[in-house]
């Protein structure tokens, strides 16, 4: 009993001596990353995140202590260091471009190798200027097409919109045989291997994310709400489809590519409220748009059919999006998805709205008059991104249900 107590006290002294108490917690680290992401997007300044996973074993406590000392002695005071749990550590390198992140990664990898710390290191780059919105002028018609600079053969990367997935690296301390080969080849003794981008995205990713429990509850509400809603409005959709077909040539439903969460394109479904050649006529009407910014909004749009005006005022044209919610493309509540080219033309700070799933309704949807400019609209979306919770979602759903009754659905 006495021996166990002495060992426990020795371990606590060791932890304090190693500086473990100076490390941020995972929650604190997430808060700092969130703050840096907003700052980086506003000022177009890149930053990097290095994550270090220490292998388990009998000397785990000693290796942890050595690694913590390495971090305190070699990382700038302006950077943030954190214990993310499960023997995983994070380093936030503020105002640091990719090459700076690689340099830090090389140095930490070499120090871990020198001190025989068996650890896996990975680098993640957030560069607001790392993606050119003009490079996707010609989007393939298929909604499942990837953007052209996506080099990963894996699924879509679930990270914040500014992350540079093509430069995501996994770095490990190599085996002695590989290490000698790397030194001979002049790579500096550290093996760098480019991996599938989403291989770095795990359930305990240090970047800010909503809790799994909240995401599960939100998705459950989406499925139940969309299922019930689709059953209730099915007769109405049938009548509306017949009305569209009888009053205007062409299909009853309209499909368009929109940009969804993390930049993933998807096909949105709506009741058709315009003439068939509406999209081809948009460029000629561009100068009449009463919205600044990339979004195209025009009062008294001549392309809208007579039945289309009614469908828009009553929001009936939006009801097929229950299908998008069931498919997981959208949520009941979230920023409204913009057409692909309009979304790609948004400023970098505005694209943070893609951090959450797009929705059928949002702050802007129920209070459009409050957004006098496109920037106001985007700030309303970011307000939801930063402060969303289930009660706000339910409140917005209730407010949205009143919009058709007032005839304020169409803008």
Higher pLDDT, 132 or 360: 360
Q: Report the pLDDT averaged over residues 118-125.
A: 92
Q: Would you tell me the crossing angle of helices 212-247 and 306-313 to the nearest 10 degrees?
A: 150
Residue percentage of the chain with pLDDT more than 70: 73
* Predicted confidence (pLDDT) per residue in 74-86, tens digit: 999 899 999 999 9
Percent of the chain with pLDDT over 90: 45
**In the predicted model, is pLDDT for residue 390 greater than 50?**
yes
Stronger pLDDT, 206 or 230, i.e. the higher one: 230
Confidence class for position 243, pLDDT limits 50, 70, 90: very high
Looking at per-residue confidence, does 286 or 144 come out higher? 286
Q: What is the mean pLDDT of the chain?
A: 77
* pLDDT higher than threshold 60 for residue 406: yes
Model pLDDT, residue 130? 60
CATH of the structural domain 21-200, one choice from 3.40.50.12280, 3.90.1150.10, 3.90.120.10, 3.30.70.270:
3.30.70.270
pLDDT higher than threshold 70 for residue 207: no
Q: Are 381 and 335 in contact (CB under 8 A)?
A: yes
Structure tokens at 319: 């009801």
Q: Residue 371: what pLDDT? A: 80
What is the pTM (predicted TM-score) of this model? 0.60
| Burial tier of 118 (Cβ tally within 10 Å: 0-12, 13-18, 19+) | middle
**Contact by Cβ (8 Å): 392, 370:** no
Q: What are the structure tokens assigned to 107, written together?
A: 């140095």
Which of 55-59, 142-146, 233-237 bottoms out in mean pLDDT, i.e. has the lowest?
Answer: 142-146
pLDDT score of 351: 87
CA atoms of 367 and 362, how far apart (whole Å): 9
Q: Residue 132 pLDDT more than 50?
A: no
Instruction: Return the pLDDT at 187.
Output: 35
- pLDDT band of residue 162 (cuts 50, 70, 90) is very low
Banded pLDDT at 370 (limits 50, 70, 90)? confident
Say what the pLDDT of residue 128 is: 74
Dist CA 330 CA 337 (whole Å): 9
Q: pLDDT tens for residues 323-364?
A: 999 999 999 999 999 999 999 999 878 888 998 999 999 998
**Residue range 182-198, pLDDT digits in tens:** 333 333 333 333 332 33
56 compared with 379, residue with greater pLDDT: 379
pLDDT confidence tier of residue 21, bands split at 50, 70 and 90: low
Domain(s) of CATH 3.30.70.270: residues in the chain = 21-200
Q: Distance between CA 107 and CA 131 in Å, rounded?
A: 28
């Amino acid at each position: 009993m006495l021996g166990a107590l002495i060992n426990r006290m020795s371990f606590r002294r060791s932890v304090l001596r190693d500086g473990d108490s100076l490390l941020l917690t995972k929650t604190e680290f997430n808060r700092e990353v969130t703050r840096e992401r907003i700052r980086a997007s506003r000022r177009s300044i890149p930053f990097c995140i290095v994550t270090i996973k220490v292998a388990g074993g009998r000397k785990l406590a000693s290796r942890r202590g050595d690694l913590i000392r390495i971090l305190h002695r070699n990382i700038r005071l302006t950077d943030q260091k954190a214990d993310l749990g499960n023997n995983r550590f994070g380093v936030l390198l503020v105002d640091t471009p990719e090459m700076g992140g690689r340099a830090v990664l090389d140095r930490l990898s070499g120090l871990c190798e020198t001190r025989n710390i068996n650890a896996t290191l990975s680098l993640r780059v957030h560069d607001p200027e790392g993606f050119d919105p003009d490079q996707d002028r010609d989007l393939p018609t298929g909604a499942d097409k990837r953007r052209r600079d996506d080099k990963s053969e894996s699924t879509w990367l679930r990270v914040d919109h500014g992350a540079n997935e093509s430069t995501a690296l996994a770095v490990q301390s190599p085996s002695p045989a590989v290490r000698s080969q790397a030194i001979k080849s002049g790579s500096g003794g550290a093996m760098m291997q480019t991996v599938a981008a989403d291989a770095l995205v795990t359930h305990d990713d240090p970047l800010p994310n909503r809790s799994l429990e909240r995401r599960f509850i939100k998705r459950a509400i989406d499925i139940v709400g969309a299922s019930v809603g689709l059953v209730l409005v099915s007769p109405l959709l049938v009548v509306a489809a017949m009305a569209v077909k009888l009053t205007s040539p062409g299909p009853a439903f309209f499909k368009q590519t929109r940009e969804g969460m993390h930049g993933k394109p998807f096909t949105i479904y709506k009741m058709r409220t315009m003439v068939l050649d509406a999209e081809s006529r948009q460029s000629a009407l561009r100068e009449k748009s009463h919205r600044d910014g990339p979004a195209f909004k025009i009062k008294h749009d001549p392309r809208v059919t007579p039945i289309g005006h009614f469908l828009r005022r009553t929001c009936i044209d939006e009801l097929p999006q229950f299908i998008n919610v069931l498919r997981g493309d959208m949520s009941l509540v979230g920023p409204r998805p913009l057409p692909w080219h309009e979304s790609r033309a948004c400023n970098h700070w505005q694209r943070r709205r893609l951090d959450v799933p797009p929705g059928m309704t949002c702050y802007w949807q129920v209070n459009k008059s409050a957004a006098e400019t496109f920037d106001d609209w985007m700030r309303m979306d970011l307000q939801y991104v930063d402060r969303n919770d289930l009660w706000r979602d339910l409140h917005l759903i209730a407010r949205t249900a009143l919009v058709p009754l007032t005839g304020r659905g169409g803008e």
